[in-house]
Each structure stands twice: as structure tokens, then as C-alpha cells.
Structure 1
Amino acid sequence: MDSEVQANDIDREDLPTLVIDTSFGSTVGIVGHQAIIESDSRSHVEKLQPNIARATREAGIDPHQIARIIVGTGPAPFTGLRAGIVAAKALAYANGAELIGQNILEVQHQWMKQIHQCDQAASDSANTASLHATLAVNDARRHQLYYALYIGEDELLPMDIDFPEAIVTHVSDCLTAAQTTYGKQIDLDIVGHGAGRYMQEWSRFPQLQSLDQVSHDGADITAQDEAFAVSSIRDESVLDQNPDGIRLFAQTAIMHAKRGQEVSAEPLYLRRPDVSVPKPLKQVTYHEESSSGARNNRTSNAFAEHSGARGTVGKGTVGKDGESR
């Protein structure tokens, strides 16, 4: 099946659906049940298969009953991401199940949209004076982050990888221009694993008044009246919200499939490979060992010629007088 989706089954909500994501640690779960979350990136690959078996057992289904698999496509580092996708593809092939790919950054934005909608409903008022933007990130290691920037249904900055200080520049320029387009102040949420590691870089946003006001659990931040303002910083993932996280992850992927949009299960590494095709070897024009060997051969030949001229012979040869020596 690979990344193809059966159109006849895409609208069925009763299909046993397995979510596998290894973009940060690993998350495995059957939609509608508690997910199994491994945050230790050093062992999550080894636990992947046992956790799939455990998730199906706790959901009360047989692994062969899994009819749909939603697999995280990153962006994430190579090794962990590849393990999750390979496991999903193998299981989809064995079961003849649907396989739908979904990136983690978009779902982070969908999660923040839900939070703001719930907040507005709870306050019984619709705040139309500002828009909410999401800078969705994921830890890329090597002091870098995967990131994308969203407002509503719009992707303002597509998925990429960069150093946090460069991301601040890109986002600031983009949101300053977007404020003119939308005509409203923009409240920015920074969300995802790795967000909390770069508080100093986020402080370069002109609206961030104090690092003491930043919370990993999304507490509001007082901001100046500028084109955009940092509203919250969350060093966590939508998939950490159990069990609602995997449900939203699956719903987002299925929505794309229903619309006929790209649902490929191919990995999003984004980082350039560390290896490259080697350059052709240079042609050797001079080699010390070869030159020395040739010189030795010439010396031996010259010595033999010189010895022959003086009548010196080796063992088993015949001298000038015809006698064997």
C-alpha cells in the first residue's frame, strides 16, 4: 500500500486507526485510547514494536485488525524518523491498511487554534482585535530547529531548518509584513519540543519584555502594542496531550486525504546530507616508492653489466676460460 489511501475507506470513522510518530522520541497509540509516549530518544526505536503490540492489546484489538495507519513524517533527524516510517509501512503492507503521512508542525498549529477557540468560548467573547500565529518548531539537534509559521489556514513560512537567531529574523520580517496585510495585531505562540531551549534567542523579539514572564506551560506574556506580540511559549508537543493529541493528529491527516491533498509517508529530513559524492582521484604523476624501485632496478642492471665486463660470474655460470665456476 505504501503511501496510497483507499478512497472508499477514508470517510469511515470506525476504522481501527494506529498513530505512529517518531519525530521526537516516539508516540504510539490507537485513536480513542491512551497513547504510549517515549521521550528518551536513545531507546525509543527499540521499544517501538513492543509498544505497538501493547497499544493494540490495551485497545482490545488484534494487530491484524488495524485498518488505517497515520505516520508522522517529521520534520525530524534521520535515524528515529526512519524507524517509525519503516515500521508503519511494513505494518500497512502486511495488513493491507491505509497509510497516511502527516507532518508534526501543522498539527502543532491546529492544536493552538483549538486552545484559542476554547479560550474564546469560555470567556463568551470573540476577540477580533488580533490574530493568532503559530511558530511551530521541533528540535533538530546541532543547535538548530525545524520550523514553520502559520496564521489561520495560511502557511506564512514553509517548513525549513535553521538556527534560532536566524528564525527570529525570518519570523519578525514575515509578521511585520503580515500585519499590514491582515490589518490586525498578531499574537504569536511558539510551540514544540526545543522551544524552551532558546529563550535568549526569543528575547530578540521586540515584544518579549522579560524572560521571567515566559512559561513552558503556555502562560501569557505581557507584550507591547506592536505589529505582533509573543503570546506564549510551550516546550511541548500536541502528541503529549493524551489521548486527544493522537486524535487531532489523525483528524488532520484524514482531512488532507479527504480533500485529495498530499498524504505521502515519505520522511521530511530537510537537513542536507552530511556525506557527498567524493571527487575523482587525482592521477598520480610521481610516486616516491615507484621511483625508488625503478632506481634500484637500474642500479642492479648497471652492476650486472659492469661485473660481466670484468669476467665476474655468478654461481652456475661459465667463465671466459670455458670452465664452470
Structure 2
Amino acid sequence: MLLLAMDTATPAVTVALHDGETVVAQSSQVDARRHGELLLPAVDRVLHEAGLKLDAVTGLVVGVGPGPYTGLRVGLVTAAAFASALGVPVHGLCTLDGLAYAAGTGTEGLEGPFAVATDARRKEVYWARYADARTRVTEPSVDRPADIAGQLAGLPVVGAGARLYPDAFPDAREPEHQSAAALAALAAERLAAGDEDGFLEPLPMYLRRPDAQVPKNYKVVTPQ
């Protein structure tokens, strides 16, 4: 098994290789405006570090969001293109699940319950609650921090959303940013257990309409 994982649903452009037992190589850069520019060089970097070629990959793992429209699609389209070229499957995972897994299995060692919140812009966060690092107990949602502060009162909150809104989420925990290494490790664990139901379709999870929309009542300038 050699999984190539990537996620561009947050400001972190993150890529990792996982051989089914451990992370072989990883790369993460935080830049909310350069997903398309940074992703492919990151893939090249992790492959070079591992001393492998792209055709060694046996499966793709991709974060499906929730996330903003443009950045999120970069990772999903890239994963789909690689999978088509290599003839290997794509396994979709919720981006928030990757952060939760990292929080529970990393140095933070959160045992749960806790929540994950990422920046959704417009003074909102994408969030979900977790019983532990592997078990999400609510569907991902997008809300204003003040509107959900009561629901999450007393819970540690992982992610950049907690850092941005300390009044609503006073117990902010690491990690702040998504890691493809954690996403790959979670996918490898589920694949080893035969848990195919633990994956999502590799389609974007937006949770709200894009900013750009067709204007209403626009003037027709073509001949009738």
C-alpha cells in the first residue's frame, strides 16, 4: 500500500505519502491564496523525499472539506486526475476528521469529547463535534462562532477557528492547521480494517453557496 494524501480545503496546502504503516514523507505550507501554485510542487517534493515515482502510488486520499470553493477544488481535481491516470481509487475524507485524528493521536492527545473548527471566512466557522479522535457525532456545519458557543461550552476546540474567535472558544487546542499526514494515517487505518463506509465520495463539501452567482434581471444585449 502506498497512499498519496492531499488536502486544500483550508489555508494549509498539505501532501503526504503513507505506506500503510507509517508516514513516508510529508509537506505542508500555509497560504490561503496559492493552493493551485503550491500543490503540485508539494507532490513532487514528497515523492522525491521518499525516492519514489508517482506510478508507485496505489491509492489517493483527499480532504473533501468543508472549505471555500476555489481552494477546495484544487485538491479534489488533482486527486481525480492522478487517480484517472494511474487507475487507482480515490478515498474522500472530511477535512475536519483529519484535524480530529491529529488532535487525538498526536502530541495533544485529546481523548474527547471535543470539537473542531476551521475558518469559513465571513466571520463564520466550519465545525463538528467528536466523541474521540475517530468518531464524529455531528454533521459538519457552518455557523457564526457566537451562535454555537453555548453548544460547545466547556469543550476543547481544535483548529484555526478556535484561534480566531477566543471569546467563543476559550479552550483552543492544537493542531491549528490540517495535515495530510494525519488524513493519510486515518485512511490507512480504515482501509486496514476494511471500513469502506468510513470514506466519502471525492466531491466538494461546500455547505453554502459560492460568492459568484449569475446576476438577476440582467440586460439582454444579443439580438432577439
Q: Please give the range of the TM-score, normalised by the shorter of the 2 chains.
A: 0.7 to 0.9
Deviation at 1:154, TM superposition (A): 5.2
Matched, 1:104 2:95: yes
Cα gap change, 1:26/1:167 in structure 2, threshold over 3 Å: closer, same or farther?
Answer: same
2: CA distance, partners of 1:145 / 1:51: 27
2: CA distance, partners of 1:199 / 1:117: 19
- Find 2:141's aligned residue among 143, 160, 164: 160
SS state of the match for residue 26, structure 1?
strand
Contact 1:256 1:262 in 2 (8 A): no
1: CA distance, partners of 2:192 / 2:16: 19
Matched, 1:18 2:7: no
For 1:191-230, what aligned pairs fall within 5 Å after superposition?
A: 191-203=158-170, 230=171
Cα gap change, 1:164/1:253 in structure 2, threshold over 3 Å: closer, same or farther?
Answer: farther
Larger Rg: 1
Matched, 1:189 2:156: yes
Q: Which residue number in structure 1 is paired with residue 63 of structure 2? A: 72
Bigger strand share: 2
Contact 1:72 1:104 in 2 (8 A): yes
Q: Which residue number in structure 1 is paired with residue 208 of structure 2? A: 271
- Give the aligned residue type for 2:130: Y
Bigger helix share: 1
Between the two proteins, the alignment pairs up a number of residues equal to 213
Cα gap change, 1:29/1:132 in structure 2, threshold over 3 Å: closer, same or farther?
Answer: closer
For 1:77-92, what aligned pairs fall within 5 Å after superposition?
A: 77-92=68-83
1: CA distance, partners of 2:196 / 2:89: 16
1: CA distance, partners of 2:95 / 2:204: 11
2: CA distance, partners of 1:154 / 1:64: 33
- Give the aligned residue type for 1:264: E
2: CA distance, partners of 1:33 / 1:266: 26
Deviation at 1:252, TM superposition (A): 5.3
Which aligned segments of 4 or more residues in structure 1 are displaced greater than 6 angstroms?
Answer: none
Contact 1:102 1:253 in 2 (8 A): no
- Gaps (5+ residues) in structure 2? 220-224
SS state of the match for residue 170, structure 1?
coil
Matched, 1:144 2:124: yes
- Find 1:27's aligned residue among 6, 14, 34: 14
- Give the aligned residue type for 1:162: D
Deviation at 1:157, TM superposition (A): 2.9
Which deviates further from its counterpart, 88-97 or 20-29? Answer: 20-29
Contact 1:100 1:253 in 2 (8 A): no
Contact 2:6 2:75 in 1 (8 A): yes
Contact 2:158 2:175 in 1 (8 A): yes
Q: Which residue number in structure 1 is paired with residue 222 of structure 2? A: none
For 1:282-293, what aligned pairs fall within 5 Å after superposition?
A: none
Which deviates further from its counterpart, 156-165 or 271-280? Answer: 271-280
For 1:308-319, what aligned pairs fall within 5 Å after superposition?
A: none
Cα RMSD of the aligned pairs, angstroms, is 2.9
Matched, 1:254 2:217: no
TM-score of the two chains, using structure 2 as the length reference: 0.81
2: CA distance, partners of 1:239 / 1:188: 22
Identity of aligned residues (%): 29
Q: Which has the higher contact order (CA 8 A, sep 6+)?
A: 2
Contact 1:134 1:151 in 2 (8 A): yes
2: CA distance, partners of 1:275 / 1:86: 20
2: CA distance, partners of 1:34 / 1:155: 27
Contact 2:116 2:158 in 1 (8 A): yes
1: CA distance, partners of 2:193 / 2:90: 13
For 1:94-133, what aligned pairs fall within 5 Å after superposition?
A: 94-114=85-105, 132-133=112-113
1: CA distance, partners of 2:16 / 2:34: 18
2: CA distance, partners of 1:118 / 1:280: 55
TM-score of the two chains, using structure 1 as the length reference: 0.58
